[in-house]
Structure 1
């Protein structure tokens, strides 16, 4: 079953086609991760799933209806989206920004409720930004801002959550913290999550369903343990590697082949490094 899917989806920016004739069914109640090289169309696909980009052809379907035909409020109550480079109003505080995630659930006769308050407090606690509540968002570090944006998406309290590179700007500890949070939300609340990640090992570790894209098309999809092979990594990323079981989770772990080393018996030249120019004597110099 899939509440959210793409059917024959073609996406373009003016005359440049980025995704062509793509079919994708997002498994309900699972964590789906989309991976692929830069400019392969993964973020563009996510934008279309959240109705930030109108398809050139084909459609995105939510609960059996074309996304293009649904009211914006209804979509916002069902699908939360954290884009790749969100921007906040100048001088807005953390608490005020997170509270904006509740707008799809409010009405003209009831602007704020106890349910809104609980959702905001819970979202800020889960993303460890409660202590930043009164600080301006534009005064935060990149990692802090990213966690605040994730808190806003969580406060929206939707059944489907779309995250475009949610670990951007985060150090490794906070990357793991955010991805663990995504897994907990999926497990404890049954949320369907679709995330775009650059790190293939993190994707294989946290995904129930992995989608590998290249040149605007789906190359392979399924459980990471079933599809991640050295051949797939080479086909999608052009990287020679071996794939071994992660010693902690058992998920596929991609290990690139041997790095460059200096030839034995002398210093090597790094790729792209020019050798020292020859020494030329000046005129009249002995």
Structure 2
């Protein structure tokens, strides 16, 4: 671990204690403690196979811990009824599979099931929640179409709409920008931020793009090899040393020209002889004075 890292926040509604997660004989996460900050947007980042999606699955009770526990309001998830969990925690997994032949409208409406009672299958509240979720995600015009006929990006927006219709206090999103072009990625992340700011939703998301994570997160968690390497406000923990430690990538961290937060720019390319592509260029990697603008969108 490099440098001084901010410590975890205090006790929260959703937490993990001494959590060990495994697939058969392969341990992915071991002895992990975590407190998800209430009312904040938390983003988990890290290299492939570091355990970030596995951790999110455990937080949503899709994966049973090998040891330790996930706690909701101080009670182990394993001890809570499934319906109770679904009323509080909404989860969008990485690769959800829709029922064959289901329409967009019917799939989004399924987000309301945890809130329905046996004597009242549909209510005005359900209708309002579904309509609002469709409007927010731009899926209203797709309502009558079968989900299996949609493009990848359209499907992703439909799944997000279902998660929003569930109307939970806690929302877990595993790579919600998958299959989306850059414009729709920004739309989705702006929506997540809006839900947090206007309605106080606690959000935990796994993202691959570190710069998007740094821009949208209130609390950033960097994972590597099944452990939390650093966590805290992006401006406090995102450094070139952290990027090297977690991703094995040389980089420069500069102020984001829009937000003023940290922005990671990958380091200079290397030629076959091992020299830096910027070594001969004034202000390049050798001079260290400026960062080539062409790299701004590379991460």
TM norm structure 1: 0.91
Match of 1:176 in 2: 186
Which among 26, 36, 45 is matched to residue 26 of structure 1? 36
Which among 171, 177, 181 is matched to residue 167 of structure 1? 177
SS state of the match for residue 180, structure 2? coil
List per-residue Cα deviations over 1:39-93 (Å, max 9, x = no partner): 0000000000000000000000000111110000000000000000000011110
SS state of the match for residue 64, structure 2? coil
**1:93 aligned onto 2:103:** yes
Which among 85, 104, 125 is matched to residue 135 of structure 2? 125
Which among 139, 144, 150 is matched to residue 154 of structure 2? 144
After TM superposition, give the deviation of residue 257 of structure 1 in Å: 1.0
**1:246 aligned onto 2:246:** no
Match of 1:46 in 2: 56
Which among 60, 84, 102 is matched to residue 70 of structure 2? 60
Match of 1:274 in 2: none
Which among 217, 220, 239 is matched to residue 227 of structure 2? 217
Name the Cα RMSD after superposition: 0.9
List per-residue Cα deviations over 1:14-59 (Å, max 9, x = no partner): 0000000000100000000000000000000000000000000000
After TM superposition, give the deviation of residue 262 of structure 1 in Å: 8.1
After TM superposition, give the deviation of residue 207 of structure 1 in Å: 0.1
Distance in 2 separating the partners of 1:52 and 1:184 = 27
List per-residue Cα deviations over 1:169-217 (Å, max 9, x = no partner): 0000000000000000000000000000000000000000000000000
SS state of the match for residue 195, structure 1? strand
SS state of the match for residue 68, structure 2? strand
Distance in 2 separating the partners of 1:42 and 1:204 = 16
After TM superposition, give the deviation of residue 260 of structure 1 in Å: 4.1
Following superposition, which runs of at least 4 residues in structure 1 exceed 3 angstroms of deviation? 260-263
**1:258 aligned onto 2:268:** yes
Instruction: List gaps (5 residues or longer) in structure 1.
Output: 264-286
Which runs of structure 2 are paired with 1:185-196 in the superposition (5 Å)?
A: 185-196=195-206
SS state of the match for residue 88, structure 1? coil
After TM superposition, give the deviation of residue 259 of structure 1 in Å: 2.4
Which among 93, 96, 115 is matched to residue 105 of structure 1? 115
List per-residue Cα deviations over 1:153-178 (Å, max 9, x = no partner): 00000000000000000000000000
After TM superposition, give the deviation of residue 251 of structure 1 in Å: 1.1
Which among 233, 239, 243 is matched to residue 229 of structure 1? 239
